[in-house]
Structure 1
C-alpha cells in the first residue's frame, strides 16, 4: 500500500478509492482518527456540475454572518467564503467532536509558529508537529483564510448527521464563531 501522509485528505482519497470500488452508492467522506471520529458520514466533496445553489459566507472578528445553514440531504452546495475580519479565520464543516479535536491541532499550529493571529505561514505548516502529522490545512471540508482572502468549498451533504460550521482558530469557537447545519429531507 502507498505510504500516504497522515492527513485527513490522504485517508479520504484512500477511503474514497476503496469504497468507490466496492459500492455503487455515493461515496461519503469520513472523519479521520486525527479529528477524533471514525466512520462518521459528514458528506463528501462535490462536483461543480452538481451544485444546486451558492451560499455566501462572510467571516468577521469573531463571527459568521449567519448562525444556521439549511441544506437538503444529498444537496451539493458551493460555499463562497470571505474573511472580512482582521484575523485569520477558518470555515470548517464537521461534527462538534471533530471541531473539539481540530481545535487542539489548531493550537499546535500556533505553538509551532505556523499560524499567527493575522497570518498563515504555509512553509511552517509542512513541518512535523508530532507523530509525522503535518497541518497543511488542505482538507476538502475546510478553508483557512487570512484577512481579505476568499475561497470556495463545494460540498455534498449526507442524509443524517448533526453538522456544524465553525472557526477552530484558538478562542474563536469558544467566543461563538460557529453555527449549525440543518439537514432537511
Structure 2
C-alpha cells in the first residue's frame, strides 16, 4: 500500500511539472544541449523575443552560402571566450568557428543582456535543461562547432556560455554591430 501511495505521489509530481508554464514554454526548444560537437544550427525556437521568421533583436540565422567573414572564437575552462569583444558591420553574415580548448562542454549563445540573464537564471535552476536554436552552438571538449548569423541590426549585443556556473563565472562577451554607411 505504501509503495502504491509513493507511486501515485511520483505520478502527481511529474504531471504537475509537465503542466507548469516553464516546462511548456521550453519543451520543444530544448532538445540538444548534449548535441554533437560540430552542431551548428538548431531547429527549435527558444522562448526569446523575436518574430516567427526567426528575426531577433540581434539579427537572424545566416545563409551558410553567403558568409562575408569567418571569426574564430576559442572557449576555455578558465570560463573565457577569446576574443571577448567582436565588431561586425550591419548586414554582415558571419561564420563563427568555435574551438573548445577545455575539458568541459561549453556553448556560445547570442543575445542581449536581458535575454541572457533570464536564460542563465533558468539554466542555474535547471542545470540539466537542454536547448537548441539557430543562435547557439554547443561544443564538446577538444571539439569545434560553427554558427552562421546575419547581423542585420546595428547595436551592442552579447554572447555567453549559459551552462550552469559558466555564465556566473564570467564566460561572456560583447558584439558591436556598426551601422551600415
User: Larger radius of gyration, structure 1 or 2?
Assistant: 2
Pick from 57, 66, 81 the counterpart of residue 64 of structure 1. Answer: 81
Q: TM-score, normalised by structure 1?
A: 0.66
1:83–1:11 Cα change, 3 Å: closer
2:154 aligns to what SS in structure 1?
Answer: coil
Q: Show the counterpart of 2:165.
A: 171
Q: In the alignment, what sits opposite 1:104?
A: 121
Q: CA RMSD in A?
A: 2.4
- Give unpaired runs (5+ residues) of structure 1: 17-27, 31-40, 115-134
Gaps of 5+ in 2: 1-25, 31-43
Q: Is the 8 A contact 1:137 1:144 kept in 2?
A: no
Please report how far the alpha carbon of residue 161 of structure 1 lies from its aligned counterpart in structure 2 after TM superposition.
3.4
Given that 2:100 and 2:140 are in contact with CA atoms closer than 8 Å, whether structure 1 keeps it comes out as yes
Give the match's secondary structure for 1:29. Answer: coil
- 1:175 CA drift (Å): 2.1
CA separation in 2, counterparts of 1:162 and 1:79? 17
Task: Figure out how many residues of one structure are paired with residues of the other and give that number.
Answer: 138
Match of 2:71 among 50, 55, 78: 55
CA distance in 2, matches of 1:10, 1:65: 27
For residue 42 of structure 1, give the secondary structure of its aligned residue in structure 2: coil
Aligned in 2, Cα 1:11/1:167: closer, same or farther, shift over 3 Å? closer
- Equivalent of 2:52 in 15, 25, 28: 15
